[in-house]
Structure 1
Amino acid sequence: MEIITGVERRRHWRDDEKLRILAELEESGAKFAEVARRHQVSRGLLWQWRDAQRRGKLVAEASGFVPVRVIPELPAPCAPEMSPGTPCPSMSDADGAPDDRIEIVLPDGTAVRVAEDVSTTALRRVLAALRG
């Protein structure tokens, strides 16, 4: 028999811990009850985490560095309907001032241009939408 004499506190799981535990469930022969018991977590909570993972709400944060190359000014992409030999417009405002947008080109060739003051949250949502 276990007697709890203090205030019981909820354990707060970090996303990387949740994902590590969920990865154990993917191993062959793994059983929910055994994994739950080993980590002292309820099976119901494991199901909630698994559901959140499947819905894309529980994802691993990309840790590490991404190679970045700074280019003073890129030519704007040409519209397909432009005739060959017609110069593409440059990335600048109508008054000739340089455009203060950031262009991100993904490995699949998808390009995203955002304002330099875009919030990290908004940028994450855009990139997550492109991945999905």
Structure 2
Amino acid sequence: MSDFIYRPQIEVLSAADGVRRRQWSDEDKLRIVEESLVGYRQVTATARRHGICRSLLTTWRRQYRNGELGASRSASFAPVTVTKDIPASQPGPG
């Protein structure tokens, strides 16, 4: 009989052990997308050059086409009509 008892080693993984996700600024995304639009068949080469997957770059390109990428939210205005003050003694329309 052997004195060896098999005990599997359990490795505890933590979220802090893994590689953190990168955060891309809108300016970086726009620069990378515009670079991928120059020339023929540049999506894969551009993605590889910047260390991102092709599907992520494809998603950014779709957002760019739809105007969703880097579009700053501008203030929307409602039309306003200015009229002369109506004295309180006159009845209003109605």
Q: Does structure 1 residue 42 correspond to structure 2 residue 33?
A: no
CA distance in 1, matches of 2:41, 2:33: 10
CA distance in 1, matches of 2:30, 2:85: 49
Question: What are the equivalent positions in structure 2 for 1:79-94 lying under 5 Å apart?
Answer: 91-94=82-85
Note the alpha carbon deviations across 1:68-119, whole angstroms, 9 max, x for none: xxxxxxxxxxxxxxxxxxxxxx9455259xxxxxxxxxxxxxxxxxxxxxxx
Partner of 2:21: 10
Question: What are the equivalent positions in structure 2 for 1:43-82 lying under 5 Å apart?
Answer: 43-59=54-70, 61=72
In structure 1, list runs of 5 or more residues that go unmatched.
1-5, 62-89, 97-132
**Greater share of strand residues, 1 or 2?**
1
CA distance in 1, matches of 2:70, 2:30: 8
The letter for the 2-side match of 1:34 is: A
The letter for the 2-side match of 1:22 is: V
The root-mean-square deviation of aligned C-alpha atoms, in Å, is 2.8
Aligned residue-pair number: 65
In structure 2, list runs of 5 or more residues that go unmatched.
1-16, 73-80, 88-94
Aligned pair partner of 1:31 in 42, 62, 72: 42
Contact 1:16–1:60 at 8 Å: present in 2 too? no
Q: Structure 2 length normalisation: TM-score?
A: 0.56
**Structure (1 or 2) with the larger CA radius of gyration:** 2
Percent of paired sites with the same residue? 37
The letter for the 1-side match of 2:35 is: E
